[in-house]
Amino acid sequence: MTFIQRPRRLRRTEAIRALVRETRLSPDDFVYPLFVCEGEGIRREISSMPGCFNLSLDELVVEATAAKGDGLRAIILFGVPDDKDATGTQAYAEDGIVQRAIRAVKREVKDLLVIADNCLCEYTDHGHCGVIQDGEVVNDPTLDLLVQTAIAQAEAGADIIAPSNMMDGFVEAIRAGLDATGFENTPIMSYAVKYASAFYGPFREAAQSAPQFGDRRGYQMDPANAREALREAELDFAQGADMLMVKPALPYLDIIRAVRERFDLPIVAYQVSGEYAMIKAASRLGWIDEQRIVAESLTSIKRAGADLILTYFARDLAQRL
């Protein structure tokens, strides 16, 4: 018997398409990034990220409450301090902006996970993710400060620590520091595979964290490398990371897939500021359908193998799902 194979049978109506759909988005998948700044009553829009803001503590609580109301379960916090110095003191100060923000959200918003980004670049006056000696970002002295930062964040009540600094050995150092201070139950979401990407441009405006000299290619990864991504992920896995992140997301779907296939930890993808800005810009020009592009991009990231996605579209999407 000969007959035509007819895959179109399962595409004829939305009902049947929904029945056989392989990948679904849910508000449970998303983490919503927020930028917290000093002051009061501040909700300052980031010009290259329309719809995203620098928020003072009071406005942060308003935004976090709304995010929870939309069905989201987690936010990740980035600090925009007034005072920066060579060693990023405000990153690990007990009353640093992020520590105060964590306390405020944990106090005011019930059952919302607060993830703390762990890096120095928003807090250093030179904008690098570590301490500088002789014009270089030095690894091991930086680790001590990252550990102090993680402990300060955990003491403030952070539910998860997410180190994004790309120093060697950061997971092991932070794990040891957390364990030694009674935070053995605080998970580490490691930015294991973080590329030196031009897609972070708008974030650096948002966090005022652009490096004042040089660039981050001495610690973040070369976009050309895929095997090296597996090595980075392997190291963090071995050092005790609880989740592995790949960042950026859409230009690195092959990497998300490769890490997914190799490791049985939850895989996280970060749809970064530049990915957000491009979609916003094209949709403002009327060139694309924003809602469909957002859903399609996030579905692709999940289909590639991400369990969790950090995205500035988290609220928009949660409202629609």
Distance in angstroms (rounded) separating the CA atoms of residues 124 and 127: 5
- Beta pairing class for 74-80 and 30-37: parallel
For ligand PBG (CB under 6 A), the number of binding residues is 10
Question: Applying CB under 6 A, which part among 58-66, 96-104, 196-204, 294-302 lies near ligand PBG?
Answer: 196-204
- Sign of the Cα torsion 278, 281, 287, 291 reads positive
Nearer to ligand PBG, 51 or 69 (CB): 51
Residue window 161-190: x/- pattern of binding to ligand PBG, with contact defined by CB under 6 A: ---x--------------------------
Task: Quote the strand ranges of 126-188, DSSP E.
Answer: 131-133, 136-138, 160-163
Distance in angstroms (rounded) separating the CA atoms of residues 107 and 61: 9
> CB of 109: closest distance to ligand PBG in angstroms?
22
Nearer to ligand PBG, 16 or 198 (CB): 198
For residues 194 and 220, the answer to whether their CB atoms sit within 8 Å is: yes
Of 252, 199, 198, 197, whose CA–CA distance to 230 is shortest?
A: 252
Q: Is 272 in the site for ligand PBG (CB under 6 A)?
A: yes
70, 117, 159, 232: which one contacts ligand PBG (CB under 6 A)? 117
Distance in angstroms (rounded) separating the CA atoms of residues 288 and 42: 31
Show the tokens assigned to 86.
């060579």
> CB of 282: closest distance to ligand PBG in angstroms?
18
Nearer to ligand PBG, 23 or 220 (CB): 220
Closest CB to ligand PBG: residue number? 203
Kindly list the distances between the CA atom of residue 18 and the CA atoms of 9, 237, 285, in Å, as whole numbers in the listed order. Answer: 13, 36, 32
106, 204, 257, 262: which one contacts ligand PBG (CB under 6 A)? 204
Distance in angstroms (rounded) separating the CA atoms of residues 178 and 294: 37
Distance in angstroms (rounded) separating the CA atoms of residues 150 and 129: 14
Nearer to ligand PBG, 215 or 261 (CB): 215
Q: Is 29 in the site for ligand PBG (CB under 6 A)?
A: no
Question: Applying CB under 6 A, which part among 34-42, 80-88, 116-124, 221-229 lies near ligand PBG?
Answer: 116-124
Residue window 223-262: x/- pattern of binding to ligand PBG, with contact defined by CB under 6 A: ----------------------------------------
- Sign of the Cα torsion 65, 245, 156, 85 reads negative
Question: Applying CB under 6 A, which part among 13-21, 61-69, 171-179, 197-205 lies near ligand PBG?
Answer: 197-205
Task: Quote the strand ranges of 180-304, DSSP E.
Answer: 189-194, 243-247, 267-271
For residues 188 and 241, the answer to whether their CB atoms sit within 8 Å is: yes
Three-state DSSP class for 287?
Answer: coil
Nearer to ligand PBG, 156 or 272 (CB): 272
203, 219, 263, 313: which one contacts ligand PBG (CB under 6 A)? 203
Nearer to ligand PBG, 116 or 119 (CB): 119
Residue window 51-90: x/- pattern of binding to ligand PBG, with contact defined by CB under 6 A: ----------------------------------------
Task: Quote the strand ranges of 219-318, DSSP E.
Answer: 243-247, 267-271, 308-311
Nearer to ligand PBG, 24 or 160 (CB): 160
Q: Is 152 in the site for ligand PBG (CB under 6 A)?
A: no
Name the residues annotated as catalytic.
194, 247
Contact residues: ligand PBG, CB under 6 A: 117, 119, 121, 129, 164, 200, 203-204, 272-273
